[in-house]
Amino acid sequence: MNVLVIGSGGREHALAWKLKQSSLVDRVFVAPGNAGTAEDAENVPIPETDFAQLIKFVKENGVDLTVVGPEALLAAGIVDAFRKEKLRIFGPNREAAQLESSKVFCKQLLRSGNVPTAEFQVFSDPESARRYLVDREDVPIVVKADGLAAGKGVIVCKNREEALEAVERIAVRKVFGAAGNRLVIEEMLHGEEASVLAITDGKTIVTLQPAQDHKPAYDGDTGPNTGGMGAYSPAPVVTDEMLHWIEANVLVPTVHAMKKNGCPFQGVLYAGLMITPLGPRVLEYNVRFGDPECQPLMMRLKSDLAAILDAAVDGRLDRIESLEWDPRPAVCVVVASEGYPGEYKKGFPIHGLEEAAKIPDVKVFHAGTTIRDGQVVTSGGRVLGVTALGDNIARAKYQAYAAVKCISWPGKWCRKDIADKAINRLTQSGANRNS
Ligand SMILES: Nc1ncnc2c1ncn2[C@@H]1O[C@H](COP(=O)(O)OP(=O)(O)O)[C@@H](O)[C@H]1O
Ligand SMILES: [Mg+2]
């Protein structure tokens, strides 16, 4: 079959690279893609937001399956648009995508499915939110804008004063626009964060290995928030036993609740979790693969991704064999442009990609790259996702950074501590003693 991947980041490169390895797949197209997907697949110069052109391309080129990367397209109804044309597409429809695009929808769904999450209240006007904050104890609390706000709509507040300021910003000054028409105010949770993703057809779920990402820009989880500076899988904070618990008590009840509420969920169900002393709690759901979590997951997945996604689209995931994973951990280090996540320059030629590719068990996934005059140049803030497998996580980290070292362009930088949290945890628990 022919497959179309929509998007242009590291996640989409990893998906295209993995799909291309399937014996079921003939051609893999990526719209619009980047310099890396041009090499591993075929780029199609259609903007990801142009649904009509994408649909036309799919019909004219015998694409049997379309896979959507970015959440904004799902929230904008790309799946509905394709289904209307009887085209096979992997991802939730617009209604189901509210699990990510509306924090209020998500929290109410979690409550209705009895899924463990922080205690919360929903407000649709700033005055009642203020009154609530003033009336309750002055403790740390989290204020969330309801809608998509490019990862900035959640404000973790140390005290009442900060919470009142957050309400002001979101609901009065409307710094995130209509995303702030409603608010969620919720209890602050403590612990380590982890991501557990599952693929579901709306009835059956296939849980993937746990992963962990690094959102803050600088080492030691400091600095401004980014799209993600690195990721690794597995996440040792999620034990096998806990993964089963999460499947049974988080993922399964969520899929059931979606179905019961009349909006069955097909696609990637990505649980952002806080592993608290009382057990895992859902912080949020995303409705697509994470970027960069997707990169280490695809490095480790041995099963045929095309077969899994194809089955999910047809509602026959129950007939898929259990997934096979490379037992070795994978680490992805995001290499960024100078200035990211603020302003940055583009168009620098990238050197050393071939040397990096020669390092064993390394794959350099491209994100913000393009081809200019036959040369790979930077074209985004997050430029590459250098991903490596290793016999243990420290080894995977070492390999990834060895590959990063080969690559250069003016202003190139990355975090130096990707996966250290996992390495420290394993060192402390002694599990890494012999490796
Ligand atoms: N209840 C909470 N307690 C503590 N931290 C939280 C809570 N909710 C969110 N956070 C922090 O804020 C980050 C962003 O929140 P999240 O709900 O994932 O929103 P988004 O990814 O859409 O910005 C989380 O990764 C977590 O670090
Ligand atoms: Mg999040």
Residue-range domain boundaries for the chain: 2-93, 125-181
> Taking a C-beta distance cutoff of 8 angstroms, is the pair 386, 364 a contact?
yes
Q: Between β-strands 120-123 and 183-187, what pairing exists: parallel, antiparallel or unpaired?
A: antiparallel
DSSP string spanning 345-395? ---PBPB-HHHHHHSTTEEEEESSEEEETTEEEE-SSEEEEEEEE-SSHHH
pLDDT at residue 434 in the model: 46
Identify the CA nearest to 109 among candidates 309, 315, 317, 284. 284
pLDDT at residue 343 in the model: 97
- Going from the Cα of 297 to the center of ligand 1, the distance in angstroms, rounded, reads 22
Q: Which H or E run contains 64?
A: strand 63-68
- Going from the Cα of 168 to the center of ligand 1, the distance in angstroms, rounded, reads 19
* Nearest Cα residue to atom 18 of ligand 1: 284
* Nearest Cα residue to atom 8 of ligand 1: 283
List all residues whose CB is within 6 A of at least one atom of ligand 1: 118, 142, 151, 153-154, 156, 186-189, 193, 272, 283-284
Q: Between β-strands 120-123 and 154-157, what pairing exists: parallel, antiparallel or unpaired?
A: unpaired
Burial of 106 per CB tally in 10 Å (0-12, 13-18, 19+): buried
Residues, beta carbon < 5 Å, ion ligand 2: 272
125-181, CATH topology level: Dna Ligase; domain 1 (3.30.1490)
pLDDT at residue 411 in the model: 98
> Taking a C-beta distance cutoff of 8 angstroms, is the pair 403, 382 a contact?
no
Tokens matching residue 324:
């096979």
Q: Which portions of the chain are predicted below pLDDT 50?
A: 432, 434-435
The ligand minimizing its distance to the Cα of 148 is: 1
pTM of the entire predicted model: 0.97
The ligand minimizing its distance to the Cα of 117 is: 1
For residue 234, is the peptide bond before it cis, meaning its omega torsion is within 30 degrees of 0?
yes
pLDDT at residue 431 in the model: 54
* Nearest Cα residue to atom 23 of ligand 1: 151
Q: Which of the following CATH numbers is that of domain 2-93: 3.40.50.20, 3.40.50.300, 3.30.559.30, 3.40.50.2300? A: 3.40.50.20
* Nearest Cα residue to atom 11 of ligand 1: 156
- Spatial separation of the C-alpha atoms in residues 101 and 75, rounded to whole Å: 6
